Amino acid sequence: MTAGLRRGRETSSRRRRCRSLLPSLAITGALTVSLAGLAPAAAADTGPEQWYLEAMQAEEMWKVSTGKGMKVAVVDTGVNDSTPSLRGQVLPGKDTSNEPGDENVDPDSHGTTMAELIAGTGDGAGIKGLAPDAKIISIRAALKKKGQTVDWSKSGNIDESIRAAADSEAQIINLSFASEYYTPHLQDAVKYAVGKGKLVFAGVGNDGDGKNKSLYPASLEEAVAVAAVDESAKATEFSQHGGYVDLAAPGKNLPGWCPGQFDRYCTGGYGTSQATALASASAALIWSKHKDWTANQVLRVMMETAGKPKDGKVPSTRVGYGVVRPNDVLLKGKGDPGDPGKHPLDIPEPGESPSTSPSTGSGNNDDKGAADKVNVADSTESDDDSKLGLILGTGAAVAVLAVGAFAFVRMRRR
């Protein structure tokens, strides 16, 4: 493992300092819906709703890998397996919510959108997933109840949901939600998943423009914390930031089912939920091509090939080690997988001291200035106008469209 990919002592200690118990705050607006504006409908595969597919060179990547053979556990509000884009894409999962229905009942539509962003076929003018041949395993968690957010401190359900995902056949676990509430049980569940060889992605949250508190499970050292960037590869104002951000992915102006509905899509959605789904899909593409790699190796090449912060400081508080670029791995053969047994974030074993700060920079970069941007791969355009060659979570701001359009929920989840 190269020194530049180690999380420094200050970053690790910052995560530990943030682990306060906040039972009264719990899921902090995790599923609050905010709609704003209108936008015209467009074809899902080529329209502006899925601009990131072209930006990430999806068509070219799909000639090399489509995610076949990969399974992604979506721990969320459930996954509706009857949408045109998900028919045949969802494998048996588990319902840990104790709510009416099963894991394929999604009262919020959030989990279904995450599943489509990862592995949707695009049928029926639906969302085309970045890894369209991957399969989804739905783990329905107690995130919503009769239109209200569930307090983790009372439900005690999230750790059970993550353990269920870890015990499934999924190689990748997608956690597109965030909370201020921490318990040792939550951390133990994520550790359990990582210990079973799973790659766990979690959104950093959507309060970066104000409160900017460390949220969980992304703040846990064992989880890969995903932030959001926009079409110009610039860190979004809403994305949480701090010493625990690991990677970034597209998370603005993205498609999704209108909240709580399955008769139309909405557009203009944003948040680190979508970014997390696209990071999970990126990992599925890479792992499908390199089936002999471990989770550590997949993550290591994702970090090495990520679009780095413009000022060269790594990790950045805004985008971590950079914006995911699976195209660099699949189309250019970049990235050294390294030691299969060594976690690229250099998480210490019990009793082991954390690593010293990496030579390429520290995890406590100034939150302002050049670190907000990342370089755009192979782009000759100006920084602000370029359409990336890389990357992006989920949140709010939505525009209701006609059939085939997309809306997005502002979930303080990721």
Residues marked active site are found at 76, 110, 273
DSSP string, 263-319: S-EEEEEEBHHHHHHHHHHHHHHHHHH-TT--HHHHHHHHHHHSB-BTT--SSBTTT
- Backbone φ/ψ region at 223: left (φ over 0), alpha (ψ -120 to 50), beta: beta
Torsion of CA 37, 40, 45, 47, to 10 degrees: -90
DSSP letters spanning 307-333: B-BTT--SSBTTTBT-B--HHHHHHH-
Q: Distance between CA 145 and CA 143 in Å, rounded?
A: 7
As a whole number of angstroms, the distance between CA 107 and CA 146 comes to 8
DSSP 241-264: -STT--EEEE-EEEEEEPTT-SS-
Q: Judge residue 192's burial from the number of C-beta atoms within 10 Å of its C-beta, 0-12 exposed, 13-18 middle, 19 or more buried.
A: middle
Distance CA(219)–CA(35), nearest Å, equals 28
367 alpha-carbon distance from chain centroid: 21
Q: What is the C-alpha separation between 175 and 276, in angstroms, rounded?
A: 7
Q: Coil, helix or strand for 184?
A: helix
- 118 vs 107: CA distance, rounded Å: 19
Q: CB neighbours (10 Å) of residue 21?
A: 12
Question: Whose CA is closest to 268, among 402, 113, 397?
Answer: 397
Half-sphere exposure of residue 197: CA atoms within 13 angstroms, side-chain side? 10
Q: CA–CA separation, 289 vs 133, rounded Å?
A: 12
In the block, residue with structure tokens 């106008």? 385
Helix axes 272-289, 295-305, angle to 10 degrees: 110
